[in-house]
Amino acid sequence: MSWFKKKEEYTVLRPKQVAKKVEIPEGLWTRCEECQTIIYNKDLETNLNVCSKCGFHFKINPEDRIRYTLDDGSFHPEDQQLRSIDPLKFPNYQKKIDTLHRQNLEKEVLSGVGKINGIPTSIAIMDFRFIGGSMGSLVGEKVTRAIERGIERRIPVIIFSQTGGARMHEGILSLMQMAKTSCAIKELHKQGIPYISVLTDPSTAGVMASYASLGDVVIAEPKAYIGFAGARVIEQTIRQPLPPGFQRSEFLLKHGMLDKVVDRREMKNTLFTLLKLFSGKTCDLGHISAAQTDIMDVNDNICK
């Protein structure tokens, strides 16, 4: 790491063998959670999992996000060998991890480098399926490495958040990931590297109170639930009903906490334009082309 010399003192253990990904057969139709319209799955996919009638944004997996955001075949995943462990011997946590690993959800954050209309970026996408996208040591580490990768290679960083906050099961170590990631973001800002934070439904608590709030530009998908404290906690504290639309993207935009609410179907173009505007003077956009020879194979495994 050229901008900072550091000693690495991670806990290193042997990973378990992971089974091949199993495709779960799905029905042909999906009902929109918002307007109840029945949508043909193929149409839903063509429309990037947005309801064509009411614009409702379905939750999507990081693999889909990669396909919707990056140029075909440009994604090169990193840090895929990292796995969560149970440092505190917390009740039922190891069992939970094992179950999720058996479902091939071991990545927790899908991160790596890829291109947006030709512009290389370091990207990290949280996976809500792993304990509500909560941030434990692994998530903090992968996000930090994605940020450091942006600094090292002098390419912009994009992080998609989808999370309920810090992961209780790793106790204080989860809290410290907020500090770790935010310190990395500070170094990135000092180096003039652009960082765009994209908030998707939901983005709350410890992640919002760290890297998700620290983008040069912070954008959100429509109607995403975003906040520091959970609505129920607030209600219990103040003993009052909450105002309509409270803690939704549009509410945050109105209160000055967001730069923009962006429809998923416009996301790639918006990111591309921002990167074009911000990356020219400080980034090294030709840098990763040499390291991209094996991208096609890897991408085939990841994005199908």
Partner 1 sequence: MAPNEIWLDFEKPIAAVKKQIEDLRALQEAQEVDTSSEIVSLEAKVLKLQEEIYGNLTPWQRIKLARHPNRPYTLDYVEALFHDFIELHGDRRFADDPAMIGGPAFFDNQPVMIIGQQKGRDTKENILRNFGMPQPEGYRKALRLMKIADKFKIPVICFIDTPGAYPGIGAEERGQAEAIAYNLQEMESLEVPTLGIVIGEGGSGGALGIGVCNQIMMLENAYYSVISPEGAAAILWRDAAKAPEAAEALKITAQHLLELGVIDKVIAEPLGGAHQNITDTANHIHEAISQFLQEFGSLSPEDLIRQRYEKFRKMGQFQEN
Amino acid code (one letter) for 43: D
Identify what 122 binds: Zn ion, partner 1, none; CB under 5 to 8 Å per kind. none
State the nearest-atom distance from the C-beta of 266 to partner 1, in Å.
24
Cis bond before residue 243 (omega within 30° of 0): no
Task: Decide: is 290 part of the binding site for partner 1 (CB under 8 A).
Answer: no
Q: Whose structure tokens read 């209780």?
A: 168
Task: Decide: is 99 part of the binding site for partner 1 (CB under 8 A).
Answer: no
Task: Decide: is 219 part of the binding site for Zn ion (CB under 5 A).
Answer: no
Helix (H, G, I), strand (E, B), or coil: what is residue 142?
helix
Is the CB of 31 or the CB of 254 nearer to Zn ion?
31
Q: What is the DSSP letter of 69?
A: H
Task: Decide: is 195 part of the binding site for partner 1 (CB under 8 A).
Answer: no
Task: Decide: is 48 part of the binding site for Zn ion (CB under 5 A).
Answer: no
Identify what 54 binds: partner 1, Zn ion, none; CB under 5 to 8 Å per kind. Zn ion
Is the CB of 51 or the CB of 209 nearer to Zn ion?
51
Task: Decide: is 275 part of the binding site for Zn ion (CB under 5 A).
Answer: no
Task: Decide: is 2 part of the binding site for partner 1 (CB under 8 A).
Answer: no
Task: Decide: is 162 part of the binding site for partner 1 (CB under 8 A).
Answer: no
Q: What is the DSSP letter of 198?
A: E
Is the CB of 30 or the CB of 204 nearer to Zn ion?
30
Measured over the CA atoms of residue 174, residue 175, residue 180 and residue 181, the dihedral's sign is positive
CB distance 119 to 285 below 8 Å: yes
Is the CB of 114 or the CB of 227 nearer to partner 1?
227
Is the CB of 2 or the CB of 81 nearer to partner 1?
81
State the nearest-atom distance from the C-beta of 164 to Zn ion, in Å.
24
Site for partner 1 in 118-147 (CB under 8 A): 136-138, 140-141, 144
Is the CB of 265 or the CB of 276 nearer to Zn ion?
265
Distances from the Cα of 302 to the Cα of 64, 145, 239, 295, angstroms? 10, 19, 47, 10
Task: Decide: is 78 part of the binding site for partner 1 (CB under 8 A).
Answer: no
State the nearest-atom distance from the C-beta of 131 to partner 1, in Å.
11
The CA distance from 195 to 193, in Å, is 6
The CA distance from 161 to 197, in Å, is 8
Backbone angles phi, psi at 198, to 5 degrees: -110, 120
The CA distance from 266 to 256, in Å, is 21
Site for partner 1 in 210-239 (CB under 8 A): 210-214, 227-230, 233-234, 237-238
State the nearest-atom distance from the C-beta of 207 to partner 1, in Å.
9
Extract the tokens encoding 244: 């309509």
The CA distance from 70 to 72, in Å, is 6
